[in-house]
Structure 1
């Protein structure tokens, strides 16, 4: 989940630890907003309670209960690991909001928010890969083992993680600790973005929203449009649970992250107005008062997937107990591909049944990833 100065992004500082006398257009700290910080802390507590055990259960189900790891389960495993790791870090942000002061030092200030940022990119990129994989499975069902083989999937995911850690660097550079004062005049430490120039703000948040939301969602939407067009061209009319599950993941991620990126764009827009402009003051007030809550909401996306999987696999719970999620992913009764020699329509339908059905427990594609 999770950023280009993500979560509890608290308005800006100076090159190192500076005092509140330093003039800055982002001078009001978000931790000074009692309502926003309280609500944000409550949301994050809920996220910890649901997200940590939920994602650990997904990892355990895939690693310990599934013999053959499909491309789909491999992507889900990476997503669960990323989300579970983020959930483990959430306790630091709860303490930050509760104490309204950053007590963990400069290195943790930079490092934790950097890791949150990598989670945001990793989550949306993995979801995008899921959507592209479904596209390949539906449009090229007889070639999916070649185009989207487990070996290729491994290489793509490794490359994705390298890219994620590189493009998250701005959240490491543009963040530092600033000395602030609470309502009683006592000093407190604020871990927040360090934007010394307006163009830094415009670059970081615009880049974050375009690369971490707009472009991936454009690919996802295009993939599903092509999938629907392909399904209409064939005789394949079954309601596919795996398609619905992945679509639910896509929609859920978008709903929880959309407010965060709207606030990003509001902050970027504010930088185009003079500091004494009423419009600038109005826009600054909106993003400053909303940042903590929208960042906390974004965290929810990292604990929502276990809930979605539980609903998708509820029919297996009574029969399989704690192994229900493995049963959901594994594909123990995938339909068999028919022999060669069938016509194109028949072959396409068989391929679609084979690669996207989990109605009978299928996970999405044959082939080990391990």
Structure 2
């Protein structure tokens, strides 16, 4: 360990680079964060593995939404596996995994954060297209196209997560009792680096995706009000629940990001900056742990959505749920044609099938 300290940046009271941003500096925050992450790990890893198994092993013909949910479960499950590092970090109040893992683990966390929100955004966009242009969606948005879009999304999230790889290092920190410990902390050398990283993360990983999502659902509601049937289908409710859940659990994390950015606009000795810094430092561990909850919440949502299938289908209930959302479009279109007796090109038939045919 003595050799390790020479390879890391040592923080001293006079060091201008020191941000005192260690998430392990507050005993209550670290204890609460470790407990939350422990529960998240126990629920999230088996829950997301069950979702992946349900789709891969039980569903042969996967819809667009099912493919997106599969990727979301993979991203969430991988993120849940990484919580082991953070539980140990918070419990020991010291980073014991080295500098490479410090950069790598936080980079992978950011990558999966972006992947989760981008996949949810793609679900909302596809939902909009399926409602407004049902026939074009069925003809043009094939599984091959969807796979290419998903692959491009993964490449994009790996690129935009690079700041978390660059602005992160292991350093030696000292507490009030002059006790040394290793912390995996941001290594911003200039205030503009702090403003760039946290503002970029919140704008690209939360604000802009949610603007797109909200816009999609406003347009969907406007379209549904123009139709005769005012009925939501299971797929719409499921996607909307995923969107709301992600927003609720990630909002505190991004609020802390913005507080951190705001603090950097004030002089070093400003009382306002000290207050904002204290809020950010004391809340970072808890808000980060809450953000992790969103990744274990989706399997719970799927379970509630598919509870009507549990008694009849057993462990295959989740696969039945996803198959049900995929069959809503073709099933509802057939019923409209049978009940109305109109040609496919009839406007009333088109309106009915547009509303009910919401998923592929």
TM normalised by structure 2 equals: 0.92
> Are residues 1:217 and 2:213 paired?
no
Cα distance in 1 for residues equivalent to 2:174 and 2:332: 67
Deviation at 1:327, TM superposition (A): 0.1
Q: CA deviation at 1:240?
A: 1.4
Larger % of helix: which?
2
Give yes or no for contact 1:110–1:176 (8 Å, CA) kept in 2: yes
2:50 aligns with one of 37, 51, 57? 57
Q: How many residues align?
A: 343
Distance 1:336 1:233 in 2: 18
Larger displacement relative to structure 2 (125-134 or 146-155): 146-155
User: In 1, Cα distance between the equivalents of 2:236 and 2:21?
Assistant: 45
Determine the C-alpha separation between the residues in 2 that align with 1:30 and 1:62. 37
Q: How many Å separate the matches in 2 of 1:328 and 1:352?
A: 20
- Give the conservation status (yes or no) of the 8 Å contact 1:256–1:298: yes
After superposing on structure 2, the runs of 4+ consecutive aligned residues of structure 1 that deviate more than 6 Å are: none
| Residue deviations 1:72-95 (CA, integer Å, cap 9, x gap) | 000000000000011111101000
2:333 is matched with: 337
Contact 1:110 1:172 in 2 (8 A): yes
Higher relative contact order (CA 8 A, sep 6+): 1
CA contact (8 A) 2:21 2:185 kept: no
Q: Is the 8 A contact 2:130 2:137 kept in 1?
A: yes
Which deviations, in whole Å up to 9, do the C-alpha atoms of 1:319-341 show, x marking residues without a partner?
Answer: 11000000000138641634654
**Structure 1 residue 29, shift from structure 2 partner:** 2.7
In the alignment, is the contact (CA less than 8 A) between 2:76 and 2:112 conserved in 1?
A: yes
Task: Work out whether residues 65 and 123 of structure 2, in 8 Å CA contact, stay in contact via their aligned partners in 1.
Answer: yes
TM-score (normalizing by structure 1): 0.89
| 1:42 paired residue among 23, 35, 42 | 35
Paired residues of 2:188 and 2:194 also in contact (CA < 8 A): yes
Answering whether residue 136 of structure 2 is matched by residue 133 of structure 1, we say no
CA root-mean-square deviation? 1.6
Q: Is the 8 A contact 2:17 2:187 kept in 1?
A: no
Matches within 5 A, 1:250-261: 250-261=243-254
Shift of 1:301: 0.5
Once the two structures are overlaid, the 10-residue window that deviates more, 21-30 or 146-155, is 21-30
Structure-2 separation of matches of 1:138 and 1:292: 41
Indicate conservation of the 8 Å contact 2:199/2:261, yes or no.
yes
Q: How does 1:197-208 map to 2 (within 5 A)?
A: 197-208=190-201
Partner of 1:33: 26
